[in-house]
Amino acid sequence: MDKYPRLKTAVYFILIIVFIVGLSIIFTRIWGGKPEQPQKLNELIIDKEMTVEQFGQANELPNTVLKEVLELKVQSDLGKTLDEYGTPDQISSMVTKKLALASEHASKNWIKIPIKFGLWLFFLPTVFILLKNRTVTSGVRNWLLFTAILIFGVVMGSDPSPMGTVKDAIHLYGTTHAIFPPRMIALSIFLVIVFLANKYICAWGCQAGTLQELIFRINQTDKHKTVIGRQIKLPFALTNTVRCAFLCAFTFVAFSWGLDIIDPIDPFKIYNPMYLGLMGGGFIGILLLASLFVYRPWCHLFCPFGLVGWLVEKASLTRISVNYETCIACEKCATACPSTVMGAILRRDKTTIPDCFACYTCRDVCPTDSISFSSRKRTVSPSDHFNKRKRDKSI
Ligand code: SF4
Ligand code: SF4
């Protein structure tokens, strides 16, 4: 099939999707088929004249919930009217919060989650060491991405994910004003990883990110030439504007109408296909097709964690930096970078540095070993560094 690279890419693309969907269905069943999404809460029936007991019966609330929320002391408190415990709005809000948190708790698989974090904490440093030791060729890179997809997506499922921690936190707070503490812990872990090592969790640990990356890479030769069509780099000003607008729209809709506009098109659901509707399936198909030609379209255009992580990335301890003492301004790194980041780093002209997914491609192609992913401070290229090279070439 090496004689037919286009056919090879097309076959790999189809096989990857069929493999993911097929095996994910099996693993979802093995884990018990939890929806990993809390149930929708019905609006509460409440009237201040109701007794606590009537309120409980009208809404099928167990006495334990009433006892906890209203701090009932004795059995006879069930006969008191609701107005002794607050206004209907106050009581509704307290009960809704309590039910929302209980529903969140019930939707999670508490055996799987710590195992998944344990695997992340093992896998990410292992890849880091391999990359540091320069043992990652383009073939090995694809296998590492495939392994990440297999472990963190197919086997361990769509939840938790870096994106879910941000999206679901906003949605839950917008609809019930509740904060689910385990989610906050997960989000903090992901953000600490970004703080320590840039978008490393997105690069090698996120189920949706690694899938988009693998699809992008199978449409490239070892020399980073496109196999089918043309791979394009979208301007960061455009992608980030869309991403900010999308997050604002998501937040507005969640707070105003309690809807989750990402849910029907959530790309992480490819690992939970039983809960994927027609619209979601169609959207994911288009997204994955687009990933052949655009680097990580979901991450750049829509992902809430992508945006939050990009902000935290600015304070990251580890980042890509260039040693301009040895850099010969050939710009091979900027050409090979799947995004516009390396171009922005080199020029540091008025542009904001876009998301760097710590893929190490730039470092791998640098002929003078001038690029490092380290805690070294990122310096600005000397003025005229690149123009000088052009002048030298034309002499
Ligand atoms: S930005 Fe991409 S890789 Fe990072 S959490 Fe979002 S989908 Fe995953
Ligand atoms: S090629 Fe370099 S600059 Fe570009 S995304 Fe990868 S690590 Fe970041």
Find out whether 343 and 356 touch, Cβ atoms under 8 Å.
no
**How many Å apart are CA 334 and CA 62, to the nearest integer?**
61
Q: Is the CB of 342 under 6 A from ligand 2?
A: yes
Q: Where are the domains of the chain?
A: 52-107, 110-311, 319-394
Ligand located closest to 342 CA: 2
Beta bridge partners of 374: 319
Q: What is the mean pLDDT of residues 277-287?
A: 95
Q: Is the CB of 339 under 6 A from ligand 2?
A: yes
The string over 310-319, giving b where at least 16 C-beta atoms fall within 10 Å of a residue's C-beta and e elsewhere, is bebbeebebb
Ligand located closest to 202 CA: 1
Q: What is the pLDDT of residues 67-119, one digit of tens each?
A: 999 999 898 999 999 999 999 999 999 999 999 999 999 889 999 999 999 99
Find out whether 380 and 350 touch, Cβ atoms under 8 Å.
no
Ligand located closest to 346 CA: 2
Take atom 1 of ligand 2 and give the residue whose Cα is closest: 337
The listed range with the strongest mean pLDDT (40-44, 109-113, 213-217, 323-327) is 213-217
What is the chain's mean pLDDT, rounded?
92
Token code pair at residue 338: 């799947």
More confident position, 168 or 34: 168
Find out whether 386 and 331 touch, Cβ atoms under 8 Å.
yes
Q: What are the residues whose beta carbons fall under 8 Å from the beta carbon of 152, sequence distance 6 or more?
A: 116, 119, 120, 123, 205, 206, 207, 210
Q: Is the CB of 203 under 6 A from ligand 2?
A: no
Atom of ligand 2 nearest to the CA of 360: 7
Ligand located closest to 373 CA: 2
Q: How far is the CA of 304 from the centre of ligand 1 (A)?
A: 8
The whole-model pTM stands at 0.92
Atom of ligand 1 nearest to the CA of 207: 8
Beta bridge partners of 232: 294
Find out whether 117 and 189 touch, Cβ atoms under 8 Å.
yes
Atom of ligand 1 nearest to the CA of 163: 5
**How many Å apart are CA 147 and CA 212, to the nearest integer?**
14
Q: What is the pLDDT of residues 335-363, one digit of tens each?
A: 999 999 999 999 876 568 999 999 999 99
**How many Å apart are CA 281 and CA 270, to the nearest integer?**
8
Atom of ligand 1 nearest to the CA of 304: 6
Q: What are the residues whose beta carbons fall under 8 Å from the beta carbon of 201, sequence distance 6 or more?
A: 120, 124, 162, 190, 193, 194, 309
Beta bridge partners of 321: 372
Q: How far is the CA of 261 from the centre of ligand 1 (A)?
A: 17
Nearest alpha carbon to residue 369 among 339, 337, 325: 325
Q: What is the pLDDT of residues 178-216, one digit of tens each?
A: 999 999 999 999 999 999 999 999 999 999 999 999 999
What does the DSSP 8-state code read for residue 49? T
CATH code of the domain made up of 319-394: 3.30.70.20
Q: How many H-runs (helices) and E-runs (strands) does the chain carry?
A: 18, 2
Token code pair at residue 327: 């850099």
pLDDT of residue 371: 95
Atom of ligand 1 nearest to the CA of 210: 3
Q: How far is the CA of 122 from the centre of ligand 2 (A)?
A: 23
Token code pair at residue 44: 């509460």
Residues within 6 Å of ligand 1 by CB:
162-163, 202, 206, 208-209, 296, 298-299, 303, 305-306
